[in-house]
């Protein structure tokens, strides 16, 4: 096989891989959007007491606390949602509580990945090595 043929085959395979990756990304985004839409619709129905969840549908209290803590720590809004016992009560026996206003925290900056940038000489030669150690 000639070098030109090998390069052409390589480019063709890379183009095919990029196309597969793009399709997979688009499909994942579409599935995510559909799930968010369904969740939003279900939340609206539950809040309006138009539907009633089953006991198996409820999230455990510990997991609810962990999720609320994570959202609060990240500066994201934390809605006050009804407890499971409120949701399982017969429709019409209770009224849904008002949502808690979003947490007023400032979103924490994401950790920097600057220490992963090995193009920076100081990082490349961190530790017992130093610039000029190989000269």
CA distance 135 to 125: 13
Model's pTM, two decimal places?
0.45
pLDDT tier at 17 (50, 70, 90 boundaries)? very high
- Are the C-beta atoms of residues 133 and 124 closer than 8 Å to each other? no
66 has pLDDT over 90: yes
Distance CA 26, CA 22 (A): 6
In this prediction, residue 135 carries a pLDDT of: 43
**Residue with the larger pLDDT of the pair 128 and 12:** 12
> 87-124, pLDDT tens digit by residue?
777 766 655 454 455 555 555 555 555 555 555 555 44
């Amino acid at each position: 096989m000639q070098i030109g043929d090998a390069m052409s085959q390589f480019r063709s395979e890379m183009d095919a891989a990029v196309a597969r990756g793009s399709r997979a990304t688009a499909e994942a985004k579409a599935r995510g959007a559909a799930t968010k839409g369904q969740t939003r619709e279900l939340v609206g129905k539950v809040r309006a007491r138009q539907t009633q969840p089953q006991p198996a549908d409820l999230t455990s209290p510990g997991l609810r606390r962990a999720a609320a803590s994570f959202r609060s720590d990240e500066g994201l809004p934390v809605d006050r949602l009804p407890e499971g016992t409120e949701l399982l009560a017969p429709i019409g026996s209770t009224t849904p509580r008002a949502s808690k206003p979003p947490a007023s925290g400032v979103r924490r900056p994401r950790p920097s990945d600057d220490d992963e940038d090995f193009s920076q000489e100081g990082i490349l030669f961190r530790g017992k090595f130093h610039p000029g150690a190989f000269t």
